[in-house]
Amino acid sequence: MNIEKILESPWYTIKMDLERIKDILKEVPRKPGLYNILTSTPKEVLEEIHLRKDPKHYNISNKIKNTNKLPENLRIRQKENDEYVVYSGHSYCLRQRASEHFKGSKGTACLAIYQLEELKDYEWTFQYLDLSKIHNYEDSKLFRVCLEQFYRTKIGWPILCDQ
């Protein structure tokens, strides 16, 4: 399997909307894949989000502090007020991971975006690559991690990813 060919496969884009989140999540398959989270939220706003009530939820300002240690030319930056990729990842179940990142979860580390009042007024998008549609793809966490890391070398490093 050619990694570059896999990453050139169709990516699906879903605009997120807090008011319709349950219906929107039904559009995301329960399949393994890679995903991006894009937003129009300026980095300066994200940097102001510190400790969270649930320790499982990401400390967003710490994530940015860590990625600021990377050379600037490796990091993804926002252009004007456009949406930009702030997080990329992989999951054995894309729908579950999208739900965790937008609604929150008590069992796993996540962004829990819509639990943060200061983020609700910005644009948010979930983009994904359904790996089950790749010919002869056999899911494994190791292969998804390999794809995710290779992909980041192509797009740059999202500011909310610190590993």
Concatenating the DSSP letter of every residue in 60-91 gives: HHHHHHHHTTS-GGGB----TT--EEEEEEEE
In a domain, residue 163? The reply is no
What pLDDT does residue 51 have? Answer: 65
Note the pLDDT tens digit of each residue in 99-118. Answer: 999 988 877 788 888 888 89
With residue 148 as reference, give the H or E element that holds it: helix 141-155
Q: What is the DSSP string of 21-60?
A: HHHHHTTS-SS-EEEEEEE---HHHHHT----SSTTB--H
Residues 83-97 have a mean pLDDT of 97
Query: Which of 6-10, 54-58, 148-152 has the weakest average pLDDT?
Result: 54-58
Structural domain range at position 144 = 3-155
Q: Between these two residues, 96 and 162, which has the higher pLDDT value? A: 96
How many domains, in total, are found in the chain? 1
CA distance 52 to 106: 13
Is 162 inside a domain boundary? no
The answer to whether position 134 is within a domain reads yes
Q: Pick the residue with more confidence: 33 or 135?
A: 33
> Does any domain span residue 136?
yes
